[in-house]
Structure 1
Amino acid sequence: MQKTYEEINEKIARGEAVVLTAEEVARMASELSPAEIAARVDVVTTATFGAMCSSGCFINFGHPEPGLRMESVSLNGVPIFGGLAAVDAYIGTTEVSPSNPCYGGGHLIEALVRGERLVLEAHGKGTDCYPRRSARTIIDKDNVNEIIMVNPRNAYQNYPAATNSSNRIMYTYMGTLLPRFGNITYSTSGELSPLLNDPELKTIGIGTRVFLAGAQGFVSWNGTQFNTEKPRNEFGLPVSNARTLMLTANVKKMDPAFIRAAYFERYGVSLFLGVGIPIPVLDEDIARSVSVSNQQIQTTICDYAAPGHPGIAKVSYAELRSGYVTLEGKKIRTAPLSSLTKAREIAEILKKQVASGLFPLAPPVQSLPDHAVVRGLRVEGDAI
């Protein structure tokens, strides 16, 4: 069976479209074939809520009088990048305050979404066209021109789980890893995860509308470290970090319920974001993809104590979600870093928005790469 975006949108307009979450379709797949699902379901909503360090916002403050070319800029004491133009800057999620390494860009972004007031300090050398040399004032999301989230790398298509074989605690972006395989952490929403429900990105590309922290945003490019060449399991799904998305949206439209700053002990600041993507069920192949279950999705367990974080085992998300995994004869506790509760909430919201016509569907204006690999940085001498 073959459907088009136009046909699905017409069904939505008539109030006849069947929109389900990916979890609902995964359960349906235990009784129905992909062909039957393709005939019955029109759109499947996916979602994730997890730490996405490679995120940030462009902010335009507006010009003071007289003008100031902002070259050194901070908000609440956190440096932000001002090398863009006179009054544009970029807030990087992982940038931190020199006086408080537990507070950084992620906190600024969350505060802006919440409508909180921040202290802006800016300095410049003074020029003929921008003679002012400094400014100090209070800003919030309502008294600046624009705040546009542009995230270089979000919504990983799977991600390795982490453990630690050493005799000491390790503090990482995958959380605190206890010694001697004391725990395993993971950070993907499994069968709800957007790019695991469309592994070949048949419906996701440049211009795809997405739910980003409560706002309607878009895929603006492939994410950095986009990789199509990762090993796959028998169901054709990558068993490690593969494709990623570059996402953009209006921060002023975001909902504080779906954005949360975080500090990982001895690692640094990050930002938890809610991302959701609806997938139109255009044919039987897409129906098969959105039917994937946690039992079929596997990831690699990596040992963060060894150079290069080598994979030491493969495990399904059903096993990870059970709370324990057996590794080398030892029963090891597992813990998610992403929130399944939040992901489910996003998928349900998106389901209602799509069904009501509030979240328009359209094909991508351009596909993302079919083939791409990630290259490592070559450094002379020993690593420090």
Structure 2
Amino acid sequence: MSRYKVNKSIRDINAKIKAGEVVVATAEEIIDIVKSEGPEEAARQVDVVTTGTFAPMCSSGAFINFGHSVPGIKASKVWMNNVAAYAGLAAVDCFIGATEPCEDDPLNKVHPGEFTYGGGHVIQDLLERKTVFLKATAYGTDCYPNRMIEKEIALKSLPQATLCNPRNGYQNYNCAINLSNKTVYTYMGTLKPKAGNANYCSAGELSPLFNDPFYMTIGMGTRVFLGGGEGYVAWHGTQHRPSVKRTPKGIPVSPAGTLMVMGDLKKMNAKWIKGVSIQGYGCSLAVGLGVPIP
């Protein structure tokens, strides 16, 4: 005998989706449904709850294959719009990280720095169908004799472009305050002195991992909304800590679970992927991430 009063399988829900009969509620809507109908009836009525978040996620970036040249090059250093990309991969593969600043950015030499352009902005430019200037240098080999290429690239013409974010969708996070006598600039924003403000980062009731606190439905292979396109959970994210202290309902009281997500950058939309400049801290990327929970 089942331990649950309402039982639905993934197969049942998929059949209802195919038949156009599925009932979907947002994580915000389901709260009112549960309050008015009770949890049992809410589970009976609703098949899927959609969750989501849209915020700066520093541990983000994109794998780019920029195509072979003639003669060939085994790139050892790569820049896109003067933002360095990691080239320690195959010949014309590289990874551009969201937080990498432009090479000539003054950083915090004039404090607080503005960090007006970085890796996240390059990714946004590609999605906005702008051309990006690429430069690659190499030491030259017998099979890859070319030592430098310079060219303009566009997302449409790239052989492959994959958004791959090692840590997104943090399950709960810290609240930041500043108890000192001076203003400080952090990845949580500007903090005024003497506890003049408090900054936090959470999607609250919409948070994917708040709505699946023990990862019963979200895991490797889960299909997600990523940057306006389709993506997948590839693995648990970096700094994933599922064993932290939790409330009686399972909500962690400190940073806990994270998701590693990836998807085809070419099918995403700049509306949901935005380069971010955080004063006094650096560059980042705001990522739109949505997860359905059956």
> Given the two structures, how large is their TM-score scaled by the length of structure 2?
0.94
Assess if the C-alpha contact under 8 Å between 1:160 and 1:239 holds in 2: no
The alignment status of 1:157 with 2:171, answered yes or no, reads yes
Equivalent in the alignment of 2:244: 230
Structure 2 residue matching 1:191: 3-state secondary structure: helix
The alignment status of 1:266 with 2:271, answered yes or no, reads no
Equivalent in the alignment of 1:86: 91
Equivalent in the alignment of 1:44: 49
Assess if the C-alpha contact under 8 Å between 1:69 and 1:86 holds in 2: yes
Q: What percent of counterpart residues are identical? A: 49
Q: CA deviation at 1:32?
A: 2.4
The alignment status of 1:27 with 2:45, answered yes or no, reads no
1:142 and 1:149 map into 2 onto residues whose CA distance is 15
Q: 2:14 aligns with which of 9, 12, 29?
A: 9
Q: CA deviation at 1:17?
A: 1.2
Q: CA deviation at 1:98?
A: 2.2
Equivalent AA in structure 2 for residue 155 of structure 1? G
Structure 2 residue matching 1:37: 3-state secondary structure: helix
2:144 and 2:280 map into 1 onto residues whose CA distance is 41
Q: CA deviation at 1:74?
A: 0.4
Equivalent in the alignment of 2:110: none
1:273 and 1:152 map into 2 onto residues whose CA distance is 12
CA offset digits 1:89-127 (Å, max 9, x no partner): 000111111212412111111111111111101110111
Equivalent AA in structure 2 for residue 32 of structure 1? E
The residue correspondences of 1:340-379 to structure 2 (distance < 5 A) are none
1:93 and 1:273 map into 2 onto residues whose CA distance is 11
The residue correspondences of 1:318-329 to structure 2 (distance < 5 A) are none
The residue correspondences of 1:271-282 to structure 2 (distance < 5 A) are 271-280=285-294
Coordinate RMSD, CA, aligned? 0.9
Equivalent in the alignment of 1:75: 80
Equivalent AA in structure 2 for residue 269 of structure 1? C
| Between 100-109 and 261-270, the greater mean CA deviation after superposition | 100-109
Q: CA deviation at 1:45?
A: 0.3
CA offset digits 1:300-319 (Å, max 9, x no partner): xxxxxxxxxxxxxxxxxxxx
Q: CA deviation at 1:12?
A: 1.4
Q: CA deviation at 1:233?
A: 2.0
2:35 and 2:231 map into 1 onto residues whose CA distance is 33
The alignment status of 1:106 with 2:120, answered yes or no, reads yes
Q: CA deviation at 1:235?
A: 2.3
Assess if the C-alpha contact under 8 Å between 1:80 and 1:91 holds in 2: yes
CA offset digits 1:64-107 (Å, max 9, x no partner): 00001100110111110001011000001111112124121111
The residue correspondences of 1:40-189 to structure 2 (distance < 5 A) are 40-100=45-105, 101=107, 102=115, 103-189=117-203
Structure 2 residue matching 1:195: 3-state secondary structure: coil
CA offset digits 1:230-267 (Å, max 9, x no partner): 22123220122100000000110011111111111111
Assess if the C-alpha contact under 8 Å between 1:117 and 1:138 holds in 2: yes
Structure 1 residue matching 2:157: 3-state secondary structure: coil
1:201 and 1:21 map into 2 onto residues whose CA distance is 18
Equivalent AA in structure 1 for residue 127 of structure 2? V
The residue correspondences of 1:267-346 to structure 2 (distance < 5 A) are 267-280=281-294
Equivalent in the alignment of 2:207: 193
Structure 2 residue matching 1:50: 3-state secondary structure: strand
Equivalent AA in structure 1 for residue 262 of structure 2? T
Q: CA deviation at 1:133?
A: 0.7
Equivalent in the alignment of 1:360: none
CA offset digits 1:149-206 (Å, max 9, x no partner): 1110000011111111111111000000000000011111100110100101111110
Q: 2:264 aligns with which of 230, 240, 250?
A: 250
Q: CA deviation at 1:36?
A: 1.3
2:23 and 2:131 map into 1 onto residues whose CA distance is 43
Structure 1 residue matching 2:37: 3-state secondary structure: coil
Equivalent AA in structure 1 for residue 71 of structure 2? P
Assess if the C-alpha contact under 8 Å between 1:205 and 1:219 holds in 2: yes
2:18 and 2:85 map into 1 onto residues whose CA distance is 44
2:166 and 2:155 map into 1 onto residues whose CA distance is 22
2:179 and 2:243 map into 1 onto residues whose CA distance is 28
The alignment status of 1:221 with 2:235, answered yes or no, reads yes
1:72 and 1:265 map into 2 onto residues whose CA distance is 28
Moved over 3 A (4+): none
Assess if the C-alpha contact under 8 Å between 2:214 and 2:250 holds in 1: no
Q: CA deviation at 1:54?
A: 0.1
Equivalent AA in structure 2 for residue 61 of structure 1? F
Q: CA deviation at 1:34?
A: 1.7
